[in-house]
Structure 1
Amino acid sequence: MIEILAMLSASAAAGMRIGIPLLIIGLLQGSNLWSQIPILSHISPPILLGFLTSWSLLELLASKKLLGQRIIQVVQLLLSPLVGAIMGLAVASATAAPNWLIALIGGLLALVLQLVQVGWFYRLRGLPLWAIFLQDTLCIALVLFAFDAPWQGGLIALILLWFAVRSAKQWYDWRYKRGSID
């Protein structure tokens, strides 16, 4: 059960950012940079470290401007299922569940959370700066919780999933009311 909660926490982090969680999880492995992580273990660690550091800085800095948010969201929307699957597999390596199921759940959770962000971005015409800082902080916290406090991280991931479901209902109601007025 703890491995599943840790997997949900790590995958939820991938649903918010894609470079930062991969960078943190690699650095937490110490001298074995990404050697235990599927797909990433086949890439040279110095190249991967340089790329993930650059992308993480781009995510942190460009997400503060409207154009940067748009560009980053397109890339994150395309890659979040893959990164969510990788993060889920990296954290839940000791579970008895089949790898394909872990990858599927982790990828879908990351995709759902990324879709919610895109929805809020277009509904609000850009995310406010406080929300972006909260998103960055929560992303880092979820990765750390996946290793140190999987119960808390899994609970936060489930709350985020609940928020995603509530958001979808709110958008439906908003669109239905707006559509009947038009």
Structure 2
Amino acid sequence: MIELLAALSAAAAVGVGRIALPLLLIGLLQGNNLWSRVPILSLIHPQVVVGILTSWSLFELFASKKLLGQRILQIFHLLFSPIVGAIMGVAVAEATDAPGWLIILVSVVGGLLALVLQLVQVGWFFRLRGLPLWAVFAQDALCVVLVLLAFDAPRQGGLIAMLLLWLAIRSSGEWYSWYSKSQKSKVKSQK
């Protein structure tokens, strides 16, 4: 159960809004092994992975502060968040020596959690016409905290991930009702 909570915490870090930063932190937290237990990244030389993930993390950090950068990043995040969420889940589950069947379950759940959190963010982005700067900084901080909690305090990290999922479900309901009201007002104004 602890493995699942840790994996949810790591996958939520991806779903919160960053892709490269959680992968970079996971590799650095593993010490000398770097990405030896991370699927796909273990096949690439560690120096190349560090260079790519550091560059992409810096791009994410700086591009997310502008509206155009947020739009560009959302496309990449929607495409890659399920994949990276699954990779993060597998990496954390393997680091805790989870059984094989649990690793498969964790990868699916982690990918879906990252996708759901990302989809809700896209909805809020379009509703607010861009994320405020304070929200972007909160995403950055939450991303780092969730990765650290995945290793140091998996219960608390998993609890935060479940709370984020609950907030995503609640806010998606609010976003949907806002969209329905705006569509009804457009229909009335056209008549």
TM bucket (normalised to shorter chain) is: over 0.9
Equivalent in the alignment of 1:73? 74
Equivalent in the alignment of 1:113? 117
Give how far 1:79 is off.
Answer: 0.5
Give how far 1:175 is off.
Answer: 1.6
Distance (whole Å) between structure 2 residues aligned to residue 102 and residue 37 of structure 1: 14
- Quote the RMSD (CA, aligned, Å): 1.0
After TM superposition, the structure 1 = structure 2 runs for residues 14-93 of structure 1, keeping only pairs within 5 Å, are 14-15=14-15, 16-93=17-94
The structure that has the greater radius of gyration is 2
Equivalent in the alignment of 2:156? 152
Q: Secondary structure at the match of 1:92?
A: helix
Distance (whole Å) between structure 2 residues aligned to residue 13 and residue 47 of structure 1: 23
Deviates more, 1:96-105 or 1:151-160: 96-105
Runs of 4+ in 1 over 4 A off after TM superposition: none
Verify the 8 A CA contact 2:124 2:175 in the aligned structure 1: no
Distance (whole Å) between structure 2 residues aligned to residue 160 and residue 29 of structure 1: 26
For residues 105-147 of structure 1, what are the alpha-carbon distances to aligned partners after superposition, in whole Å with 9 as ceiling and x for unaligned? Answer: 0000000111111111111000000000000000000000000
- State TM-score, norm by structure 2: 0.92
- State TM-score, norm by structure 1: 0.97
Distance (whole Å) between structure 2 residues aligned to residue 152 and residue 67 of structure 1: 34
Give how far 1:98 is off.
Answer: 3.5
Aligned amino acid, residue 6 of structure 1: A
- Which residues of structure 1 form unaligned runs of 5+? none
Q: Indicate yes or no: 2:170 matched with 1:169.
A: no
Aligned amino acid, residue 8 of structure 2: L
For residues 42-67 of structure 1, what are the alpha-carbon distances to aligned partners after superposition, in whole Å with 9 as ceiling and x for unaligned? Answer: 01111110000000001111100111
Percent identical across equivalent pairs? 66
Residue among 94, 98, 115 paired with 1:95: 98
- Which residues of structure 2 form unaligned runs of 5+? 187-191
Aligned residues: 182
Distance (whole Å) between structure 1 residues aligned to residue 74 and residue 181 of structure 2: 27
Q: Indicate yes or no: 2:131 matched with 1:131.
A: no
Q: Secondary structure at the match of 2:18?
A: coil
